[in-house]
Structure formats: structure tokens, C-alpha cells
Chains A and B, each alone.
Chain A
Amino acid sequence: MKLITAVIKPFKLDDVKAALQAFGVHGLTITEASGYGRQRGHTEVYRGAEYQVDLVPKVRVEILCDDEDADDLIGVVVKAAQTGRIGDGKVWSVPVETIVRVRTGERGPDAI
């Protein structure tokens, strides 16, 4: 089992959700996040006053899935979140040891 985490631009969330639903993913977790990567925040000159953006608002999406689905899912997320400009974000996956569905106590792939 894998945990896929994607950090994307906020306005791309609807597209990513729709694409994941079309793929058959029924559950995901969303967090409002901020940070920077190569984009590094940016300094703009606005009407003479320098304007510093330290942290850029992003959305973090987390999805649990079976091992064999992971690569396809990452592809789906990347395709949906891409604008081709700097700051599009990142997607990564990590192995997951255990998953338990709290309501029923189911474990493993059944709990996804």
C-alpha cells in the first residue's frame, strides 16, 4: 500500500479531484498549506513599493492506494495539476505499513 502526497496550486484542486474521481478514487484528504520550492517566494515591485512573498499558498492532497495503482495515480495527479509554469508543485509516494478503517476495524487493502 502507498500514500501519495501531492502539493499543488490551490486553483487546481477541483481539476485534480475530478480526475481522481474519474479514476475511481473515493477518498482523499485536503490540507491548506504554504511553502516554497525552486520558486522561492518572489519579490515584486508594485507601484514603487517592494512587495515580498515569502511563502506561497498551496494545497496538499493525500491519497491511500494499492501498490499497483500508485504509478497510474501519480500520473493522473500530475496531468491534472500541470500548468507548465513554475510553482506547479510536487507529487511523491511512500510505502504504508498498516491501514485501519476506524468504523469497522477492517485492516490492510480492504480499509482503503
Chain B
Amino acid sequence: MTSFAADRARRTTQVDRWLAELLGAEADVALVAVGGYGRRELLPRSDLDVLLLHGGRDDIASIADRIWYPVWDSGAELDHAVRTVPQARRVARSDLKVALGLLSARHVAGDPELTERLRAGALEDWRSAAPTRLAELHASYDERARTSGELAFLLEPDLKEARGGLRDVHAIQAVAAAWVAPAPGPRVRTAYEQILDARHALHEVTGRRLDRLVLEEQDEVARALGLLDGDVLLRMLAGAARTVVYAVDHAFRQSDRLRGRRLRRRQAERRPLADGVVEQDGEVVLARAADPAGDPSLVLRAAAAAAQAGLPLAPRTLDRLTECPPLPVPWPAAARDSLLALLGAGPAAVSVWEALDTEGLVTALIPDWERVRNRPQRNPLHTYTVDRHLAEAAAHAAALTREVARPDLLLLAALLHDVGKGWPGDHSVTGEVVARDVGRRMGLPAADGELVAAAVRLHLLLPMVATRRDLDDPVTVKQVATTVRSRVLLELLHALAIADGLATGPAAWNDWKATLVADLVRRVKAVLDGEPTPQPAPLRDDQLELAAEGGPAATVIGSEVTVVAPDRPGLLWRAAGVLASHRLAVRSANATSVGDIAVSVFDVEPEFGDPPDASLVVADLRRMLQGRLDVEDRLDRRARAVRPRSANVPAPKVSLIDDASDTATVVEVRAHDAPGLLWRVGRALGECGLDVRAARVETLGAEVVDVFYVTDGDGKPLAGEDARRAIVHSVLTALGDLPLGGNGLPAQDAGTVRRPVAWVLCLRPFLTG
């Protein structure tokens, strides 16, 4: 790529020499270059920022005239001021823009000592007022980012003002000048030169002082820079801007911390977030015992913890995470769950994903990502580059996880739906192949991998048909039903269409389109039958043996916990409570019965570190069965010690499904996972006077889908509408008490009656009470 740096330096030297001639030999006067001119960055159409500094001379006006008039006459844009050193410092103290300009002050002509006094004084003022000035700087940066958007992902970016643009590097320099953060490193300096060169070329090509790189100029600017075309230019700028954004965010975190420290003045606490991952001082760092070199899943675990907590990953942590060896193929289940927990965090996931990407960690996880990385799209509908669009779509999908039976597959499909854009041809077709590969790599079960691949292939089907085909024509609906085949996939496609549309831009999704797509989905749903209800999985021989003995008994084998006891109300959720009190997260649970004996099988995993001693868990389960353990008290004490999650997750949803069972009422709970969730929901049902006869609990990444078959005190399904409303209300209240993000309020449509979903297992009656 052509560099214009020499051109800028030459222009600066010429102007310096000219101004020096205009000033001549004068005592007690100095010409000082500030702003871009001070940094020797004169572009073809830059204005000249010049300060005429004097020690209090009465005839300064005539000297000023002697300099300004020739400059004006030459047609150059002049930004000028005439001040003494104390005046200049006073103005800088009240005006942030002036203060920033003075940080790059450079002596041009006249008395060098005068300039030096100003430079030293301005720096001293800047440092002594650093906490307030940096807060001001941060606020102006946020405002700028809000109005100008992000350079890396906009198709017509403002090179100077956008987030990741030139001004951000000046901000880093300003923070560094206050001795709060290091000066920009070599990567940031290279990125800065690239953006500056693009702006330089834009001035050359248009002959105007433009900062916004509009579509029509992109090819020409690229040619001036010796690049192939506008796409190559935008890719280069996107890479540069990401580097800058990452650095400026870090600089501002340092400066915010400076403020925080003045207020707190105590040792930063370390709080555990996940195994090997802790929070310190508002950032996510590795625990002292963490071992990146021997722990390939650590990258995703740390990222998931950061996104769920709504905190950034510390730069040195990211650095250390690059030491992690690549994940084995197929991925272990824990890594997959972490990825889902990361994506499920919604908007908070986007910046964590960006941070991983900056260090090349995303392409290490998903090599196919490289082909969509920084890829611009020449399309008036799209706001973002392909990779950011995918991350945004996943973030929007996270808000829709309550609407689908498989939130995990929705998140993956959203992340991958446009991954085919890196290959020639129809991106839905190429994307299906890539998605299937990625699914295999992640170790998804084959059927799930096929669903994700199908969702990618068909992700444009619903919006296309809804807007271009006659929905009143039964053939249209039938064709879609034949293509989609299952309600699970239809739900996925509907949520994916919404997430994709929202992530594309305001022109791509609106109420008009949403209404049409929803109408189509409603019609297709009516045609599709619910899948046949699967039979309950039979118990294994060893479990049957245990049941035959009649219990009470509890065993822990690896991650599987089995509890066997005579039927009794509240058994399932009390057992779940015991597990939660040992910091064991319930990944899945199945409850069934053999005669009068209830058998509950849990698949658990430790929240942090090594699993607890199995014999302790068994001992506590036995005490619980004998009624000698107060689970409630123990968990309440623990809940108070847990850090509230700040990820903005969708509110839980509770539905009563009518036609899934003749002998019981089915309660379905979809919620964000949290410690002790099963226990709380079960207790809420118990408090309503209900017996949980059977249950199926599934944790999909960070989302939970629980199904409970309940009966009233007389062993009958619930009849009254009031009783049903009371259940929904009390379960939602129990969930609202959880340390969940969001407002915890019931969803608008909570409590609606739905058809059973595919995987609901009809389990034989459990506890009869």
C-alpha cells in the first residue's frame, strides 16, 4: 500500500519554513503548531492550527496581521489564536478541545523557550486534573461513538470521528500523556498510519476536506493507495479500526480505574466467575491456578464468564489465552456449552467476541471464520461487515431463546447463517456445507448438526415466501411445510429470520415484514403436526437393581447422581437442592418411577474446580432423605453470596401445555440458567400444593428448558383457570428472586397455552404423594 507519510512530512516542513519567514526575527514571540499540524500530519486539505504565543507585547496585533493575512491570501484554512502562556493555559483548562490540541504543541519559529513553557505548563495542568479531564474525554468519546458509529463495521465510515478512527488514537495519546496508560504500541501506530493514509487519499481524490468515505469514492481512493478495489480498502480499514478500538477501550478502562481508585483506595477483590476465571477490578482475569497451556477449553470458558458477567476480558488475560492449545476435534461438551453461554449473553457477547477476534482466537476456534472476517458487503440494506453481522445476529437471537424449543441450536444457526458468504455461489448453499462442518467440529450430535445446517440453508425461506408468495394459497403453505418438515425447525427459522433482519439494518426488518413472516409461520404451524411423543428412556439394569432394593439410596458415579427412594412429595427438587448446595450444576435430570419407588437421575458438573467428594454428596442426600437436612437454609445463605449476573437475558417464560398428558398438567419453564434453579422452580410448585410426578430438565448452554408433570393434591390434572394462573405466577416469582439479569418480570405472553414441543418426554407417573 502506498504511504503518504513522506508527503505529509514534506508539506509540514514547507509550511514551517514559510511561517518562520513570515514571523522573521522577533523577541518574546513564538509560533506554535497545534492539533494535526503539531503532529506533522498536514493532509492536502487540512487546516492550519497555529498559536501565536507572546510574553505580553503591546504590538502583538501588528505581528499577527503580518502572519495571518498572507496565509488567508494563500487560500489555506487557518485556525488561529494569539495568547500569552497563562492565557493559553487558562483557556485549555476550560475547553477540552484546546487542551487536547496543546498536548501536541510543537515549536515552529521564534523563541523556543516560550513554547517549552507552554508545553510543560499544559502537560502539568493535564496531569494534575487528570481524573476530571479524562472523565470528560471519555464522555466525549462515548458521545462521538454514538453519533458516528463504528469505523470497522460501517460501509460508509467517517475516518476521523467514528469509533476506531483517528480521534480515538489521539484520545489514547491524551490518556498516555496523563501517565495513566502506556502510549499507543506499534500495532496501533501502524493502524493509525493506515487510516490517516486513507484520509489523505480521500483529500487527494476529491480535492475537498472530507472525512466520510462514501461508497462512490471508495474504488478511486483504493486505487490512489495502490489497493485493488474498495473492498480491499474497507477490509484493511476494518482491521485497523478494530486494533484502535481495542486499544482505546483499554486506555479508558485504565483511566476510569484511576478515578475509581481515588474513591476506594483499597486492594481490588478477586471474585470467582468460572473455573480458573475471576473478576478483578471490573475486568475478567485468569485465576492464579489457571493453566492456559494445559486447558484448551479455557478460552471459551473465560469468554463466556466475561460475557455473562457483562465485563471485558483484560488484555493480559487475552494475551495469556493465546497460549491455550487448540481444542481437540470434536470439541468436548464443556467447550460447546461455554460457546453457547457466551452467545446467549446477548449484546454483551459482541464486544467479548470482538476481543477474541482481535487476538486471532476466533479463527483458532472456527477456522472457517477467516473467510468472513472483515468482509464488507456492497449492499444498501446492510449496516455491518459479514462477521460483525453474524455476531450481532447471535446477540439478537439471544433475546429470542424463550421462543424456541432449542435455544442452543438457534444461537449456533445465528452465528453461522451467513458463513457461506466467504465462498462463491449462493451463500445459503455454501453456508449449509460450512455449518455442517463446523457442527461436526464442535461435536454436535448428528441430528442437531443437521438441524443447524438446515436452518442455515433455509434462513431466507420465510422472509422470501412471506413477501413474495400468496399466503392465502394453500399450495404456498404446503410447500413451506414440506420443505421445513418439523415445528422445531420452523421455530428456529422464525427466530433466525427476526435476528437476521434486526442485525442487518433498519431497512431489512420492520413491522411490515414481521407481520407477514408471523402470518406465514402461523399458517405453516397449523399444517405441521407435532412430532409423536417419544417413549420414556428405560432405566439401566443397575438403576433397576437399585430401585428393586427400594432405597432410600443415593449413588454418585462420575457425573451421574442417582437417587432412589419411596415416593414422597418434593423429593426431586430437594435432591436438586442438595446438589446445588455442593456447587454442582444440574445439566439434565430425568425423574421416573418403578412401582412405588421414585428414581431420579441427574447429570451434574461442578461450577468451579474439582468435583466435591462423592461420599459427602451421598451422605447429604441420605440425610435429606431421612429428613435431617435443611436444604432451604443452606441454599438461601449461598444465594446471598453469589455475584448478581449483569448479562441482559430475556425474562423467563412459563407455559402450561394442555394436550401433552391426560393424567397430569404439564408445566414448561424456559429460563436463563442459574445456581439452584431446579430447586427453586420445584419448591414454587410444591408451595402451590402440587405434586411433581415426573420431570425432564435440560440445560442447553446457558439456557434451561424444564418440563414438569404435575397434579393437584388429589392426583388429578389442574382444572381451574385461577389455579393455573397461580402456578405461572408463583414460578415466575421464584425465578424473579434468582440472581438473573434483566428485570425478572414475567414475559408478556407468559401463561399462554401451547402445543407440546417435540422433545417433551411423556414420563410415567412419579411421586404420587
Contact = CB atoms under 8 A, between A and B. Distances in A.
B470 A83 contact: yes
Contacts of B752: 49
B334 interface: no
Interface stretch (A7-15, A71-79, A100-108): A7-15
Contacts of A47: 526, 755
Contacts of B511: 34
Contacts of A9: 470
A51 B511 CA distance: 17
Interface in B513-555: 513, 515-516, 519, 522, 526
A34 B512 contact: yes
Contact of A57 (B468, B469, B512): B512
Most buried by B among A32, A51, A53: A32
Interface string B460-473: 00000001111110
A12 to B, nearest CB: 8
Given A11-B467, A46-B526, A49-B753, A85 B512 contact: no
Judged by DSSP, the binding face of B is helix
Contacts of A57: 512-513, 515-516
Given A47-B755, A48-B753, A32 B471 contact: no
A46 B754 CA distance: 11
Contacts of A46: 522, 526
A12 B471 CA distance: 11
B468 A14 contact: yes
B725 to A, nearest CB: 16
B755 A32 contact: no
Contacts of A33: 512
Interface residues of B, number: 18
B483 interface: no
A47 B752 CA distance: 12
Contacts of B515: 34, 55, 57
A19 to B, nearest CB: 16
A47 B658 CA distance: 11
A14 B515 CA distance: 20
Nearest to A34: B512
B510 interface: yes
A10 B467 contact: yes
A60 to B, nearest CB: 11
Given A32-B513, A57-B512, A85 B472 contact: yes
B755 A11 contact: no
Interface string A1-26: 00000000111111000000000000
B472 A13 contact: no
A3 B493 CA distance: 40
A85 B511 CA distance: 24
Nearest to B470: A11
A11 B469 contact: yes
A33 B512 CA distance: 7
Contacts, number: 36
Interface string A43-71: 00011110101010100000000000000
Given A46-B526, A51-B522, A57-B512, A10 B755 contact: no
Contacts of B468: 10-11, 13-14
Nearest to A55: B515
Contacts of A48: 753
Contacts of B516: 10, 57
A51 to B, nearest CB: 7
A12 B470 CA distance: 8
A49 B749 CA distance: 12
Interface in B217-274: none
Contacts of A32: 510, 512-513
B59 to A, nearest CB: 55
Contacts of A12: 470
A34 to B, nearest CB: 6
Nearest to A31: B512
Contacts of A13: 468
A85 B470 CA distance: 11
Interface string B468-482: 111110000000000
A88 to B, nearest CB: 11
Nearest to B658: A48
A16 to B, nearest CB: 12
A10 B463 CA distance: 12
Interface string B492-510: 0000000000000000001
A11 B471 CA distance: 8
A84 to B, nearest CB: 11
Contacts of A34: 511-512, 515
A55 B514 CA distance: 12
A10 B526 CA distance: 22
Most buried by B among A13, A47, A53, A57: A57
Nearest to A86: B472
A17 to B, nearest CB: 11
A47 B470 CA distance: 22
A9 B470 CA distance: 8
Nearest to B469: A11
A53 B755 CA distance: 22
Interface string A89-111: 00000000000000000000000
A53 B519 CA distance: 9
Nearest to B515: A57
A4 to B, nearest CB: 22
Nearest to A13: B468
A9 B472 CA distance: 11
Contacts of A10: 467-468, 516
A81 B433 CA distance: 39
A15 to B, nearest CB: 10
Interface string B738-753: 0000000000000011
B418 to A, nearest CB: 23
A9 B519 CA distance: 14
Contacts of B471: 11
B352 to A, nearest CB: 36
Contacts of A53: 519
Interface in B398-437: none
A36 B470 CA distance: 17
A10 B464 CA distance: 11
Contacts of A49: 752-753
Contacts of B472: 83, 85
24 contacts: A9-B470, A10-B516, A11-B468, A11-B469, A12-B470, A13-B468, A32-B510, A32-B512, A32-B513, A33-B512, A34-B512, A34-B515, A46-B522, A47-B526, A47-B755, A48-B753, A49-B752, A49-B753, A53-B519, A55-B515, A57-B515, A57-B516, A83-B470, A83-B472
- The 7 A-B pairs at the shortest CB distance, nearest first, are namely A32-B512, A11-B470, A11-B469, A57-B516, A57-B512, A57-B515, A11-B468
Interface of B: 467-472, 510-513, 515-516, 519, 522, 526, 752-753, 755
Interface of A: 9-14, 32-34, 46-49, 51, 53, 55, 57, 83, 85
Given A11-B467, A34-B511, A48-B753, 12 more contacts: A9-B470, A12-B470, A32-B510, A32-B512, A33-B512, A34-B515, A46-B526, A49-B753, A51-B522, A57-B515, A83-B472, A85-B472
